[in-house]
Amino acid sequence: MTELIKLTAAELAEKIHSREVSAVEVTQAHLDRIAEVDDHIHAFLHVDTEGALAAAKAVDEGLADGKAPASPLAGVPLALKDVLTTEGVPTTCGSKTLEGWLPPYDATVTRKLREAGVVILGKTNMDEFAMGSSTENSAYGPTHNPWDHARIPGGSGGGSSASIAAFEAAIAIGTDTGGSIRQPGSVTGTVGVKPTYGGVSRYGLVAFSSSLDQAGPCARTVLDAALLHEVIAGYDPRDSTSIDAPVPPVVAAARQGANGDLKGVKVGVVKEFGGDGYQPGVLRSFQAAVEQLRALGADVVEVSCPNFVYALPAYYLIAPSECSSNLARFDAMRYGLRVADDGSHSAEEVMSLTREKGFGPEVKRRIMLGTYALSSGYYDAYYGSAQKVRTLITRDFEAAFEQVDVLVSPTTPTTAFKIGERVDDPMAMYLADLCTIPSNLAGNAAMSVPSGLSDEDGLPVGLQIMAPALADDRLYRVGAAYEAARDAAAGGALIHKVPELGGTK
C-alpha cells in the first residue's frame, strides 16, 4: 500500500499545498488503489478517472501560479455517494430506474466540492434510493466491508464508508436519513457525521424522505470530517429547508478537542439504548468509551429519553410516506428507465411496467407502506400519529439538552453482520438503525466515531455523540478528544489496523 493513501486528508492537503507532492500524484495513487482493490470491495459504481485527474491538475496549476488553495482540502481525493447529482457523470441512486442518467446540473454539495478544489474520484455504491442498512439493496450488487469481505459495510452509504476504510479515497460524502452515514461509519471503523438538518443543502440530493435526508461528511479522522463539513455546509436559497445561519465552528472545535480536555463538558448516557438485542462486545466497548470520556474530565450522567423507544416505528411510517410521494416522479415519462414503449401499451401500463421492473423489493415495500399510511381513512391513525411521536422525541432531546451538552450511545446494536444474513428479515435489518433514528426525527446533529474493536469478533464498534441543532461543534470537540485518547491508549490510529485487502469476495 503506497504511503500517500495512508495519510489523512489534512496531511495530504498540507503536502499538496506546500508542493511537496502534487495533487495529480495523490489522485493517481488513489485511482491505482481503486483499480487494485475495488473488484473485492465494490465501493464505486462509477470512477471518473479523466475528471479527477483534470481537477487535480487544475489545483497544481493554481499553486504553481502562486494562487492560494481554494480551500483547506484543495487537491484531496473524495468519493461521492451516488445520490447527489453530478453534471455529466452517471447518477443512479443504486437503481436500475436511473441507470445511465447523466444529470444536467450539479447538486449544491457537488458544486461546493468543485469550487473548493476537492477532487471527486467517482460515485459510490448505495442501497437503492438510500433505502437500507447494508448496501445489499443496490441494483448493482453489494459492497463488501474491508474488515471482512463476507460482511456488510452498513447502509445506505456503505460505498462511501468502505471507500475510505479501504484507502480508496481520503474522504467521502454520505447522506443520512435514519443513520445512513453513522451506521456505516460504525461498522467500518470510520467517522461519520449527520449535520443539523438544514445545515447542508439538499438541492440536487435525490429525495427519499425530504424531512429527514441530510448530506454529511465521512472520514478516517474527526478533523478530516470537520474540514469537509465546513466545505459543504452553509445556507442555500435553492433549498427551502436550508438554515440561514452561520456554520458552527466545527474545525476549531475539532482542534480544541484534540488537546484532550473535556473539563466542564456534561455528557448524558441515554438510558434507553442498551440491554437486550445489543451485542455484548458492543456494550463493553461503549462502557469503555464512557469511562474514557470521564477520564478526560467530562461530567457523565445517565439521562432518560422515554419516547426514543417509539422512534423506530414512527420513522417507518414517516419515511415510507415521504418516499411514496417523492418516488412518484419516476414515472417513465420524462427521464430514466422506460419499458414496454412499443406503442401497444397505454401510458399507465408503461408507467406500471417500468416501475415494476425498475424498483427493487425494498423500494417497493416502502412505497406500499407509505401509500397505505397516507391513504384516506388511515392518514391520521398512522402518518399523523407518527408525527405526534416525532414531536415527543424532539421534546425528549430538548429536555435532555437542558441537563447536558451532548448525549452518547452505541451507534448500532451490533457489529457488521454477514451479507445475506438479514435480507429476508426486514425487521432485523431495520433494527440496525435503532440508535440513530431519533436524531433524524428531531433534526439535531449526531456523529459516529470509532470506539475500538469488539472483543467478540474483532470488528469495529462506533460511539454515537448527539448534540442540539446548530451545535454541531460540540460533536467535534468531544469526538476529537475521545479519538485522541483512544489512539493514545491503542498505540496508533484504529483505521490503520484494517487488514490488507486481497483474495476473493
The residues carrying an active-site annotation are 81, 156, 180
The helix (H) or strand (E) run that includes residue 28 is helix 23-41
Using a CB cutoff of 8 Å and minimum separation of 24, what contacts does 346-350 make? none
CA angle 325, 369, 362 (to 5 degrees): 90
Whole-angstrom distance, CA of residue 320 vs CA of residue 234: 28
Whole-angstrom distance, CA of residue 340 vs CA of residue 473: 52
Whole-angstrom distance, CA of residue 305 vs CA of residue 279: 21
Question: Do β-strands 171-175 and 77-81 pair in parallel, antiparallel, or remain unpaired?
Answer: parallel
Whole-angstrom distance, CA of residue 149 vs CA of residue 503: 9
Residue with cell 423506530: 312
Is the bond preceding residue 240 a cis peptide, omega within 30 degrees? no
**Rg of the chain over CA atoms, in angstroms?**
21
Contact between 30 and 77 under an 8 Å Cβ cutoff? The reply is yes
Instruction: Give the three cell numbers for residue 149.
Output: 469481505
Half-sphere exposure of residue 118: CA atoms within 13 angstroms, side-chain side: 29
Helix H, strand E, coil C: the string for 163-182 is HHHCCCCCEEEEECCCCCCH
Question: Do β-strands 191-194 and 266-270 pair in parallel, antiparallel, or remain unpaired?
Answer: unpaired
Contact between 13 and 72 under an 8 Å Cβ cutoff? The reply is yes
